[in-house]
Amino acid sequence: MKKSMGLVFIFVCLGAASLARDLNRQSYHVGERASAMAGAFTAMGGDAASSYYNPAGLAVMSKKGISLSASMYQLLIENYHDALDVTMEDGSKIHASMESRTFGTFPSSVIYVLPLDDRPYDSDFHQVLAFSVLVPHYDKYNGSVNRPIGLWAFELKGSLFNEDTTYWAGPSWAVGLGRLRIGASLFALFHISDMRYNLALKTVLTDPSAGDVYFYATRSVERSGFGITMLAQLGAQMDITDHLTLGLSVRTPTFGTFYSNVDILSLNSSYAADAQGNPVSVEQVTDYVDRIETHDVVMNYWLPLKVSIGAAYEVEGSFAVALDLSLHLPQGPYHLFSGKAVYPTEALGQPIIDNDRVLIPDDRRKNSLIVNANVGAEVTLAAGYFLRGGFFTDFSAVDQGFYDVGEEERMDALYLPRLHRFGGTLGVGMSGKRTTTSVNVTYTYGLGSTFSFNNLFGVPGTKTDASAHTITVCLAGSADM
């Protein structure tokens, strides 16, 4: 019975993890021209989304207007292929996988551009202001695992829903100094995180006095978080020739946490019953129903220093090609969520000090150095009609070595896969006298690893394969005002 109860204890404790995901740095591209060119826009201009990629690119814009882009349709598929893959002493195998399939529709950018003068963009002191609302980060997971009773007598059902969205809002300024352009952006970041986690376990125990006993354990956790931080971005572009432009953009780390509000509700239960469903008393099995609620939690949504360099070659009315390299510095360790341990209380309000029933609102992070590449191209098919496309990498920042030091650390990373993504974009655009319209499709394939649940059975929790697919259809346009 002790071995079975060890299984129960570990599985119920899985629900104590905070289960927040922040996997990759450029999963989504914003803007019209920029998103269709796979985000290769550090040295490019002609799109209000330069406020995000390199604010210096705003200086080439000479007309007041508004730019919009939105994800019309998005499909995200994520698989943990061998979440459980254990060979028992009798040779039987326990295997289970997790899959998430979600759909999403959301706006990705709204940008207002206001030139401050009528000078040509390549004249001295041509200045442009912009105000942007962007959604460059969105992550959604809705996975489940179902392992029915088999040779090893336990049944497991679990589900995880997690959705993280970050809104960026702020002003940008750019000035043209002949062939040189410089710019700056200041963004407030509003991060919203919602999570629902449910776990139910049923196992059969043999008690010398009571015979076969069914043990039931459940855990349900709901967490909602909202946080505000800020960062700044500086950029420069230089026209080396009439066709070749070089660009540099530096984005600061976030400036700490300005505001945070987190609510967590945990519902847990444990009881034993005989084959007829009647409650029974069994050694080492504690009957309880707990409700634990806490608001004393801080969410720290932090981003590291980012440096991007780019080169673009453009022949107006014919074609353009661009290449970007971006560096994201390491970060951490730090706490994405942190708070004091909370115990259930008895009828008189006194805490029940039982580490099997405690809620620990803690989520640690350590992110590794990343280098990503973006390549984009645009071809003019006819006057006012464009074909755009590109390729990009989106490597994961998850430092799995930080978690792979012990059982508790690996549990913190069970739902935090290290997925390296590779993507491509293809789109068409149309430009009129005062408006532009474009549609593009982005596909990404991710491969990597996550930690298995094998340690539930006394087997070291090893890394297991994970994969992901994302398809996004984006509609964008702009209008002069």
Residue 13 confidence class, pLDDT cut points 50, 70, 90 = very low
Confirm if 341 and 317 have CB atoms less than 8 A apart.
no
The mean-pLDDT minimum among 5-14, 221-230, 243-252 falls in 5-14
Predicted local confidence at residue 20, as pLDDT: 55
Go through the domains of the chain in sequence order and give each one's CATH number: 2-480 (2.40.160.60)
Greater pLDDT, 217 or 5: 217
Confirm if 322 and 310 have CB atoms less than 8 A apart.
yes
pTM above 0.75, yes or no: yes
Greater pLDDT, 254 or 397: 254
Strand order in the sheet with 331-339: 297-299, 331-339, 363-367
What average pLDDT does the segment 259-281 reach? 86
Greater pLDDT, 332 or 385: 385
Greater pLDDT, 99 or 194: 194
Q: Is 157 helix (H, G, I), strand (E, B) or coil?
A: strand
Predicted local confidence at residue 124, as pLDDT: 84
Extended strands (E) in 10-153: 65-87, 93-115, 124-147
Mind giving me the DSSP string for 83-112? Answer: EEEEE-TTS-EEEEEEEEEEEEEEEEEEEE
The residues, ordered by sequence, that sit 6+ positions from 71 with a Cβ below 8 Å of its Cβ are: 28, 104, 105, 106, 107, 108, 472, 473, 474
Q: CA 295, CA 260: separation in Å to the nearest integer?
A: 10
What average pLDDT does the segment 299-319 reach? 95
Q: CA 391, CA 404: separation in Å to the nearest integer?
A: 32
What average pLDDT does the segment 408-431 reach? 83
Average per-residue pLDDT in the chain?
Answer: 85
Residue 411 confidence class, pLDDT cut points 50, 70, 90 = low
Predicted local confidence at residue 449, as pLDDT: 85
CA angle 77, 32, 23 (to 5 degrees): 35
Q: What is the pLDDT of residues 17-28, one digit of tens each?
A: 445 566 787 877
Residue 10 confidence class, pLDDT cut points 50, 70, 90 = very low
Residue 413 confidence class, pLDDT cut points 50, 70, 90 = low
Predicted local confidence at residue 53, as pLDDT: 97
Residue 107 confidence class, pLDDT cut points 50, 70, 90 = low
Question: Is the pLDDT at 463 greater than 90, yes or no?
Answer: no
Predicted local confidence at residue 2, as pLDDT: 34
Greater pLDDT, 410 or 165: 165
Predicted local confidence at residue 12, as pLDDT: 46
- Verify cis geometry, omega within 30 degrees of 0, for the bond prior to 333: yes
Question: Is the pLDDT at 168 greater than 50, yes or no?
Answer: yes
Residue 353 confidence class, pLDDT cut points 50, 70, 90 = confident
Helix, strand, coil share of the chain (percent; to 5): 10, 60, 30
Predicted local confidence at residue 106, as pLDDT: 67
Residue 248 confidence class, pLDDT cut points 50, 70, 90 = very high
What average pLDDT does the segment 385-392 reach? 96
